[in-house]
Amino acid sequence: MHYISTRGGISPIPFKEAVMMGLARDGGLLLPEILPQVAPETLSRWHSCSFQELASEIFRLFITDIGAEQLDELITRSYSTFTHPEITPVVKKGEMFILELFHGPTLAFKDVALQFLGNVFECILEETGSRMNIIGATSGDTGSAAIYGVRGKERINIFILHPHKRVSPIQELQMTTVTDPNVFNLAIRGTFDDGQAIVKAIFNDIPFKDKYSLGAVNSINWARILAQVVYYIFAWCTIKQKTGKESLDFSVPTGNFGDIFAGYIAKNLLPQGAIRRLILATNENNLLTRFVTRGDYSVSEVVATSSPSMDIQVASNFERYLYYLYGCDPVRTREDFGLFSKSGKLHFDADLLDKVQQDFASKSVTEAETLDTIRTFYKDHNYLLDPHTAVGVNAAQARTSNDIPVVCLATAHPAKFGAAVTRAIGKAPILPPGLDGLEDKESRCEVLDPDVRVVQEYIARHALL
């Protein structure tokens, strides 16, 4: 399997090279050359797989330059840090299935991909005897998950930009209390979008990128998308086993279009109709909902909500979907992103919108609805939703056809967002062992201006060479 760019400017490369490249060198995003179709007999074998076995099966379709045994070893190691034996269990609450993705070391779904990515990086670097510097922007959860994925690894330094004072106190502490010498936390005076723009600009500075062997952990990295495909199919298999149902909707709280894009890939791997529709749930930052419902993709101001990991206006993975929407046309993709970077908007006509709506439905959920959903769900099911998950559950409840089951992705543990939960139910969630006592730990963080040059200078001073 080889990887190509959505903008058509690179010759096909194998998986390991794609992982190291992160953002494609022509400014596009990397995608597999073809999307394999899973044969029915393969699928029936998958039904009895554990999460790790299923990961191995799926990864092997997309990773042909790492040996099967080594791949399995990477998978085993990556998921040994999870506290639940099923890794991503499905629970049923009323009529709804909840896919719990928060049993990893930092209690959010990003661990599923970043534990694996950290180990893949290490494996490749050992093989080539080289080093790398990871740089990434976070709205809160990616940062800690990425840091936990690579802390203490000898051949890697990691630089994580988070928006200063705009992440939850626990999110901040989860990052800044990791004081391994290879971890650098940079608090940027600005929004997540400022941080992400800086990271993109640095990756587009090819001489700088090459000099410091920069690697990406943002969801622009294909390995992250790939690892997330696994739990969609795992949930589909689990529910088919339990209920005999072969068609599902998934509701996905979305910011960067990363997680839901993994769902789109899963939808395309499975037989037609296995995943009927992906419900794209947004908070009050409703760019993607406007896209799905009206064909209007236009950036506006970021507003702060109780689901901060979705307070995003530029959805970095959107380009991948657009490439498929345009029938794998890199010229059209490149042209439209050229337009978009100038005007901040794209418009889609009725034909394209129709295509979009065959794959997606969408709802933008208000703050009041989010808190109300946490409260009601707790009252009805004695089960606490984190605010991101609540956005997804609320959007799922708004489905117009309830004829098939819906699976809501629970993207974070409620204790990570204790303030919002407390506002909803009048008491704080119980902290799980991993979060207890964080305030008392030693912490380390640098506050910087939102300026590409300032960040580059910092990296230059602290990078591994």
Ligand X SMILES: *Cc1c(COP(=O)(O)O)cnc(C)c1O
Q: Note the Cα 287 to chain centre separation in Å.
A: 17
Pull the structure tokens for residue 387: 């605010």
Give, as ranges, the residues between 85 and 114 that touch ligand X (CB under 6 A). 108, 110
Q: Is 284 in the site for ligand X (CB under 6 A)?
A: no
Q: How far is the CB of 388 from ligand X (least distance, A)?
A: 3
At 373, is the secondary structure helix, strand, or coil?
A: helix
* Binding of ligand X by 138 (CB under 6 A): no
Taking the complex as a whole, how short is the minimal distance between the CB of residue 47 and ligand X, in angstroms?
27
How far is the C-alpha of 305 from the C-alpha of 283, rounded, in Å?
A: 7
Residue 43 corresponds to which tokens in the numbers above? 């699928």
Give which of 44, 48, 118 is closest to 77, Cα–Cα: 118
Binding of ligand X at residue 256 (CB under 6 A)? yes
How many residues contact ligand X, by CB under 6 A? 17
Distant-in-sequence, close-in-space partners of 404: CB < 8 Å, separation ≥ 6: 245, 247, 248, 249, 276
Which part of the chain contacts ligand X (CB under 6 A), choosing from 196-204, 235-243, 254-262, 359-367? 254-262
Question: Which one of 388, 393, 414, 418 is in contact with ligand X (CB under 6 A)?
Answer: 388
Q: Is 255 near ligand X (CB under 6 A)? A: yes
What residues pair up with 360 in beta bridges, in sequence order? 278
d(CA 320, CA 298): 17
Tell me if 282 contacts ligand X by CB under 6 A: no
**258 lies in the site for ligand X, by CB under 6 A:** yes
Scanning 113-121, 148-156, 249-257, 356-364 for contacts with ligand X by CB under 6 A, the matching segment is: 249-257
CA distances in angstroms from 13 to 3, 4, 25, 30, listed in the order given: 5, 7, 12, 9
Rule CB under 6 A: choose which of 186, 411, 414, 418 binds ligand X.
411
C-alpha 150: how far from chain center: 17
CB closer to ligand X out of 174 and 213: 174
Catalytic residue among 16, 110, 209, 363: 110
Q: How far is the CB of 257 from ligand X (least distance, A)?
A: 6
Q: How far apart are CA 385 and CA 98, in angstroms?
A: 10
Residue 110 catalytic? yes
**CB-facing half-sphere around the CA of 32: CA atoms within 13 A:** 19
- 163 lies in the binding site for ligand X (CB under 6 A): no
Applying CB under 6 A, the span of 123-131, 234-242, 248-256, 344-352 interacting with ligand X comes to 248-256
Q: Look-up: residue for tokens 């194998």?
A: 14
Q: Which two tokens stand for residue 228?
A: 């997330």
In angstroms, give the least distance from the CB of 185 to ligand X.
17
> Which residue number, 310 or 361, has a Cβ lying nearer to ligand X?
310
Shortest gap between Cβ of 413 and ligand X (angstroms)?
9
Token pair belonging to 224:
């992250």
Site for ligand X in 36-55 (CB under 6 A): none
Question: Using an 8 Å Cβ cutoff, are 288 and 295 in contact?
Answer: no
Residue 361 CB, nearest approach to ligand X (Å): 16
Q: Decide if residue 412 touches ligand X (CB under 6 A).
A: yes
Which residues have CB under 8 Å from 213's CB, separation 6+?
A: 130, 131, 132, 133, 464
Residue 376 identity? T
For ligand X, the binding residue among 122, 249, 259, 359 (CB under 6 A) is: 259
Interacting positions 286-315 with ligand X (CB under 6 A): 309-310
Distance CA 210, CA 132 (A): 10
Specify the stretch interacting with ligand X by CB under 6 A; choose among 42-50, 77-85, 250-258, 441-449.
Answer: 250-258
Task: Give the one residue of 100, 122, 141, 284 binding ligand X; rule: CB under 6 A.
Answer: 141
| Residues labelled as active-site residues | 110
Contacting positions for ligand X (CB under 6 A): 108, 110, 141, 219, 253-260, 309-310, 388, 411-412
